[in-house]
A and B are shown apart, each in its own frame.
Chain A
Amino acid sequence: DAKTTQPPSMDCAEGRAANLPCNHSTISGNEYVYWYRQIHSQGPQYIIHGLKNNETNEMASLIITEDRKSSTLILPHATLRDTAVYYCIVISNTGNQFYFGTGTSLTVIP
């Protein structure tokens, strides 16, 4: 599965959009991009995933570049409860091992 690179930490003002980047330059055509977040002491929470097209759900939007080598998770109106570690994961449709890296620690500032 492709390796992902994320910034270790980011800040975002409450009410503003949080844009979390992820590089996955070695991604192959059959690999999905998944985003999870983990709030302290809780289990990782699924946010969104995509293959080629941009995706949106009630939690966030996922923007995948045309070459699929990077993606951005967008939280449109960040709240204090969005403070968490965000993980970007790439997984192929032939594998089942979701590997979590170190993620991005997002702090939403009042």
Chain B
Amino acid sequence: DAGVIQSPRHEVTEMGQEVTLRCKPISGHDYLFWYRQTMMRGLELLIYFNNNVPIDDSGMPEDRFSAKMPNASFSTLKIQPSEPRDSAVYFCASSLVGRGRSPLHFGNGTRLTVT
């Protein structure tokens, strides 16, 4: 099992540019989560999907952020336009079942720097 795969590992972009982060969950997992981590705010849940459907996006900071899951093996998190305060490490995680019955498995993250 390759685990959760995220790409790219590092992204440096200029303010105003569009950024797309990608995630491939573990095969067979029904839940997918996007987190953001900063020194100031720690790990924050942005959005999660169940069977490709967004369930809770209350953590998405603003309309500049959007997430999609077109199929069970792929999800994207898009920021348009990007701003320096979006600089953070973005993690994707998946779990087999929900409701606390199985753990989240995290990818190694995408470190985003917006200049």
A-side interface residues toward B, CB under 8 Å?
A: 31-32, 34, 36, 41-46, 49, 91-102
Contacts and interface: CB of A to CB of B under 8 A. Distances in A.
Contacts of A36: 104
B28 interface: no
> Which of A44, A94, A95, A102: most chain B Cβ within 10 A?
A44
Contact of A43 (B42, B45, B98, B109): B109
B54 to A, nearest CB: 12
B12 interface: no
A contacts with B: majority SS: loop
Nearest to B55: A96
B115 to A, nearest CB: 20
Interface in B63-115: 89, 91, 93, 98-101, 103-109, 111
B56 interface: yes
B41 to A, nearest CB: 10
A92 B101 CA distance: 9
Contacts of B108: 42-43
Contact of B103 (A41, A49, A95): A49
Contacts of A102: 42
Contacts of B99: 92-96
Contacts of A92: 99-100
Given A44-B93, A46-B104, A96-B50, 6 more contacts: A31-B100, A41-B109, A43-B106, A44-B43, A91-B100, A97-B48
A96 B101 contact: no
B34 interface: no
